[in-house]
Homo-oligomer: A and B are copies of this chain.
Amino acid sequence: MPLPQPPYYAVIFTSQRTAVDAGYGSTADRMVELAAQQPGYLGAESARGADGLGITVSYWASEADIAAWRRNAEHQIARDTGRRDWYAHYTLRVAKVERAYEWQREDGPQDPQA
């Protein structure tokens, strides 16, 4: 994803999956697609390791945009199903991104923030 100019918001969602898989993948894919259609959506990144611990960070222009996404009916149903079936534990944090930078191999080996 391209780097938006701070300040903006990050929703850091850390979760531990149960062994119950029914519908998880398709719902996760659908939530990514649906989130991308919401006002203020700036992008998202997700990783889950073999131990079942996953981290999804989504980025939003404002707190109001995060609140509106939270009220989305389909998203509410997905969250309810998550608590019923898919998650053993989760943590959600809302954080204001103050600065950001990126590096890629083509930039060469020097520290981009030196």
Q: What is the copy number of this chain in the assembly?
A: 2
> Chain A contact residues: over half helix, strand or loop, or mixed?
strand
The residues of B that contact A92 with a CB separation of less than 8 Å are: 100-102
The residues of B that contact A76 with a CB separation of less than 8 Å are: 111
Q: Which of B47, B89, B101 contacts A55 (CB 8 A)?
A: B47
Name the interface size band of chain A.
35 or more
Nearest neighbor of A101 in chain B, beta-carbon distance: B92
Contact of A105 with B91 at beta-carbon distance under 8 Å, contacts A12-B12, A55-B57 already known:
no
Contact B105 A88 (CB under 8 A): yes
Nearest neighbor of A103 in chain B, beta-carbon distance: B90
The residues of B that contact A68 with a CB separation of less than 8 Å are: none
